[in-house]
Amino acid sequence: MRKVICVLVLAVMAVVSWPGISWSSSWYIIKDSGNEGIKYYKDKNGGYSPNNWGNTATSSTLSSLINGSSVLPDDNVYVQGGVYLLGQSITINKTIKLYGGFSGTEASSQDREISANPSVLNGQNANKIFYINGGSALIDGFTIKDGKPIKSGTADNGAGIYIESGNPEIINCTISGCNGGKGGGLYVQGGSTVIRNITITNNSAIYGGGIYILGGSLTATNCAITGNSSTQNGGGIYATGNGIMTATNSTIADNSATSKGGGIYSEARNIELISFTITCNTANDGGGIYMNSGSTAAISCTIISNTASNSGYEIYNRGTIDLSASIIFNSKAENSVYNRANASATLTACAIPEGLSLTSDIYLPMSWNPVSLNEISAGVTHTVYRPESSSELSLLRANESYYSLFPKTDQLGNTRTKYTLGAIDSLWDGSGKNDTPYIISTPKALNLLSSLVNAGRDYSGEYFCLSCDIAYTTENYAAIG
């Protein structure tokens, strides 16, 4: 009887997570000589210790180590900077955490500088980089490039990352130079995927040069989808089936599709865009967005300067689209939005150009001029619009109920000013913080500030910088107070 009790106690100890005790292991990986070689060290105590980088001695390859049975659920894998050439895809079906961007001298895992020590996973134009079919993996701090899976002689889907199922989180990564049939950079078939601080750039596919969403859900935050291309539809994103996407504080720019949807092609169940910029994308129809069916909601978005050789420079709509607190603009006003018969387009508190045959609450006066702001997201240049006179501001003051539609912060994370539309709060350059104050550099900008203060706007705790002398005689000023 005593032996049975002892066995039961040991069994319970093996499965219970005791406070203060880690049952996971940590793996330290460095590049070794040869195309695919690595050296690694396993610390059974878990956690991070800088001393372990010097213990890496066992030889393997990165894909065979992670794909095998040695790396267990809940293990941490730390990868030193370097180019890791993959002879096969990395398959993940368990809950593990992969961290890249280490020099090997960091005192803690939080000290890494990813950009200075890139951990590059290179598919050598022969393999997809990641295949995920289960678990809740974290992939943090990698450059994923040159994936090109071949199946039956043609390009397979998901050249960078293929997600069949699971709940992966992919953060602080760049996906580039990947080529697939559907989803050059990322293919989402099922599960619940989160991407954050991701750049998906210069990928290509037949459908969905950057991202292809078939099912499951994709949540994107602070992402840049740029310079991708498709030979059919969806240069940046192709969404279809039961796929659901929510994207916040992100940018789709400079993507191209030979046929439809330079930025986004959608026939998915539901897409929601919040504080989102879609600009400088090109297609035959729907330069910015092509809505074939399904539903899209855009809140505080900027959709401008896209190009279509046929119809719908900014939006081509055959489904249901609901836009609020957004800016839609193209110099060819009459062709900015093409709304097919039986399609539904609802605009609330949106600024659209005069001459566009849609009903909106606010029309951009022809005096509005574009202002270019650099480094909005991942170095992309965007064109945004700002009101520059009291008369233009009055358009936005007309109905206070509009402002409940606005997110509290803009695409850059700055507190949103009351009287602005679109993805970026663009009344002034700067963020209003102590180290990055709002810049007042023109008579119009100064007069705008006085108009807002007199209208009741409270700037307590925010900072302004008068960057140059201003000739007050060139503008009729309203005194503050």
pLDDT of 98-119, one tens digit each?
999 999 999 988 999 999 999 9
Give the pLDDT of residue 399.
55
Q: pLDDT category, 334, cuts 50, 70, 90? A: low
Q: Read off the amino acid at residue 324.
A: S
Give the pLDDT of residue 304.
82
Give the pLDDT of residue 474.
46
Q: pLDDT category, 167, cuts 50, 70, 90? A: very high
State pLDDT tens for residues 275-290: 888 988 999 999 999 9
pLDDT at 357 > cutoff 60: no
Q: What whole-number distance in Å separates Cα of residue 29 and Cα of residue 479?
A: 64
Residue 189 exposure: Cα atoms within 13 Å on the Cβ side: 13
Give the pLDDT of residue 351.
73
Give the pLDDT of residue 378.
33
Report for 317-326, 364-373, 430-439, 453-462: range of highest mean pLDDT: 317-326
Q: How far is CA 292 from CA 6, 160, 254, 288, 437, in A?
A: 65, 26, 21, 13, 43
Compute the residue count for the chain: 481
Q: pLDDT category, 324, cuts 50, 70, 90? A: confident
pLDDT at 390 > cutoff 90: no
- Of 25 and 5, more confident: 25
Lowest mean pLDDT among 1-15, 81-95, 190-204: 1-15
pLDDT at 332 > cutoff 50: yes
Q: pLDDT category, 13, cuts 50, 70, 90? A: very low
For the whole prediction, is pTM greater than 0.75? yes
Q: How far is CA 135 from CA 66, 73, 168, 191, in A?
A: 14, 9, 7, 10
